[in-house]
A and B are shown apart, each in its own frame.
Chain A
Amino acid sequence: MKRHLLSAADLTLEDATLVLDTAEELAQVSARTVKKLPTLRGRTVVNLFFEDSTRTRTSFELAAKRLSADVINFSAKGSSVSKGETLKDTALTLEAMGSDAVVIRHSWSGAPANLARWVRGSVVNAGDGTHEHPTQALLDAFTMRKRLGRLEGLKVTIVGDILHSRVARSNVLLLATLGADVTLVAPPTLLPVGVQAWPAQVSYDLDAVLPKSDVVMMLRVQRERMGPGPAADTETAYFPSTREYSRRYGLDVRRVTALADDAIVMHPGPMVRGMEIAPEVADGHRSTIMEQVANGVSVRMAVLYLLLGGADSAIGAPATGSSRVTAGQT
């Protein structure tokens, strides 16, 4: 694996498979009474969050702690854009403190890439602007593989605000690497110009795509995309009303019946119940939403373990196969 995880595109098929296999091993730890391994004892992981995200930060924190790393939560919300406290200053501070890995969440696309130039340790992108969220894609792939037994040839439909979604970007890249067939469904205004070059199909018609889907991943549509209207520096609305959006692109009780029997419904959260997903669907038997949260911890443990150079088996048990953890950092 590369030293940093900035984009899902940083992962080769071998890397991605290794992360998923390692996560599977580590998931066993979460089932134990004592959910802790000594693997990263003495290593320091910094959670550098410039954006509020209780869910992702907690997941990374738990992952690092279960591997016995020292964890520092560094909340620096909003300070990067205000002059005087730059990302570079923060990076150099962390460097001076001797952090081994920095997990960064930032509202600007590319901030993790900038950070990676200024620190010696590994950088893990925990979501940057509208760019990527690679560990979310890994946990999604992990969840799909666990539920459906495979990724190769799986038909994955991602629905919603593709334009602004870092989850969609990372999923498209990772799933392409893993051999799944991705279809993006959204109103044309919420698909980026240039999407034609992505390794994915595009459709505007959710009803046509659903019967062929093994996985439906619903993305949150932020209400601000409705736009406050044509003030000079604000975006114009991307669709006419939340009601029309739900009608055309929401996964409601009626639509979900079009799915194949074993098809699953995913959502990276946080959800807007009643907007992109009906409460009955979110809580239904197809929904993997809570599993995704649980799997997130295992996958992030695997990422931290592999980036921080675990050369031996992640849980210290004897090797069971050739796909055993062998790769350190490269």
Chain B
Amino acid sequence: MSSYLLRHVRPYDEDAVDVRLVDGRIAEIGTDLTDGTGTVYEGAGAVLLPGLVDLHTHLREPGREDAETVETGTLAAALGGFTAVHAMANTDPVADTAGVVEQVWRLGREAGHCDVAPVGAVTVGLGGEQMAELGTMADSAARVRVFSDDGRCVSDASLMRRALEYVKAFDGVIAQHAQEPRLTVGSQMNEGVHSSLLGLTGWPAVAEEAIIARDCLLTAHVGSRLHVCHVSTAGSVELLRWAKSKGWDVTAEVTPHHLILTDDLACSYDPVFKVNPPLRTQVDVDALRAGLADGTIDCVATDHAPHALEDKEAEWGAALPGMTGLETALGVVVLTMVEPGLLSWRQVAERLSSTPARIGRLDHGPQPQGRPVAVGEPANLCLVDAAARWTVDPTESASRSRNTPFAGRELAGRVVATFLRGRPTVLDGKPVTA
């Protein structure tokens, strides 16, 4: 019978209380609770949130274990305050069968740092031509509900329509990587003033927005559920606002990096700033922050994309796109959204925990995620020193890769402890081995 008593913690930044965790659940919340038999952890006024849930990570296993494994990726997740992550399907082999998604799911359970919810590919081999066996993946032990060809867009309108229709049978959602391929042949960065001067092929905002508009209309037409991955432009935010005003079941995520970084960083030609979709302009950043604040964008998802050193230490055009993000996500959100007063801590819990859990349908079932901090709920929790300022050092990352764009930057708010069903995965900012 494991038991923890968290002293002087402030759920959602509200009044300080003591919280007792017993057998994986929150057993008691109150002031001046007795020590009891378990371990006492002094929270010192840290903010207590439900464990964070990420709808979008790349754990690279199977296939690129040199860049990341489920073990190292989920450890990085725990250090970032996450108790559940979705693992994207663009592995090698692609997660387009029950066998692969069950393998990833099982690796997550074995590692034990956080729950891993595999995402299934929409099409066989991410080929964009033939629908994968979505129902079999849904019925597998991995209980897949999120399907995505992320990295590639399901660009064929007819195939997208069929996929949206098909997943209705098992309450699935299509998570679209919105990128019109014909408008982005050879694209390297945001198309604008900087790309024109740098001589890098542009990735125009319209290539994202055209797909979002189309997919919102398709979703409405067939009465299904769409999730838009890594929204990056002001125009996309407007389109989503419009789709939501119609009452359509459309949700969207924004990455931490798109909330803070802009395309002028490409002027260094340092591929650590190469990402897909690309960094945009300050106008876009401002619109994304406003969209996240008013709920047009439902959640923050990291798009954690670790890459081996040789894939980043290259010419911009030859380097792979992607940034790590699990350990820095909350720090960026606190810096860009909480400190400027755009989000309350309750809203942070929504945008980084309860909403992504609901979109991924992790909020119910045998081991639910994204539940509130309340007596009787599973003890998936994350404790944050809200006032901490810290400088990102890539060499300290638990990820196997070092491609963080925040190296040397100061972020705000630091995760001190993470609990997965009452068991600490992180204490005092350090991993706890199971």
Contact = CB atoms under 8 A, between A and B. Distances in A.
A193 interface: yes
Contact of A108 (B182, B185, B315): B315
A96 interface: no
Interface stretch (A26-34, A151-159, A228-236, A274-282): A228-236
A242 interface: no
A87 B186 CA distance: 20
Interface string A86-112: 111000000000000000001011110
Contact of A131 (B182, B199, B268): B199
Contacts of A194: 191-197, 202
A76 to B, nearest CB: 12
Contact of A109 (B192, B268, B310, B316): B316
A87 B193 contact: no
B269 interface: yes
Given A80-B318, A86-B314, A128 B191 contact: no
Contacts of B202: 192-194
Contacts of A233: 185-186
A63 B197 CA distance: 28
B200 interface: yes
A110 B181 contact: no
Given A193-B192, A193-B202, A235-B186, A198 B197 contact: yes
From B182, B268, B317, name the one whose CB has the most chain A CB atoms within 10 angstroms.
Answer: B317
Contacts of A81: 318
Q: Is the interface of A mostly helix, strand, loop or mixed?
A: loop
Interface in A220-274: 230, 232-236
Contact of A169 (B181, B188, B199, B315): B199
Contacts, number: 85
A90 B204 CA distance: 34
B195 A192 contact: yes
Nearest to A162: B196
Given A110-B315, A193-B192, A83 B310 contact: yes
A108 B316 contact: yes
B198 interface: yes
State which size class the interface on B falls in: 20 to 34
B83 to A, nearest CB: 37
A230 B315 CA distance: 27
Contacts of B201: 130
A87 B182 CA distance: 30
A109 B200 contact: yes
From A80, A130, A194, A235, name the one whose CB has the most chain B CB atoms within 10 angstroms.
Answer: A194
B23 interface: no
A198 B316 CA distance: 23
A113 interface: yes
A48 to B, nearest CB: 13
A195 interface: yes
B14 interface: no
Nearest to A192: B196
A87 B199 contact: no
Contact of B196 (A111, A113, A198): A198
From B185, B194, B196, B200, name the one whose CB has the most chain A CB atoms within 10 angstroms.
Answer: B196
A240 B320 CA distance: 34
A166 B186 contact: no
Given A114-B269, A129-B199, A236 B182 contact: yes
A132 B198 CA distance: 8
Interface of A: 80-81, 83, 86-88, 106, 108-111, 113-114, 128-132, 166, 169, 192-198, 230, 232-236
13 contacts: A87-B315, A109-B317, A110-B200, A129-B199, A130-B199, A130-B201, A169-B199, A193-B192, A193-B195, A194-B195, A194-B202, A198-B196, A234-B185
Interface of B: 181-182, 185-186, 188, 191-202, 204, 268-269, 310, 313-318
Given A193-B196, A193-B202, A197-B193, 8 more contacts: A87-B315, A110-B315, A113-B269, A114-B314, A114-B315, A129-B317, A194-B197, A235-B186
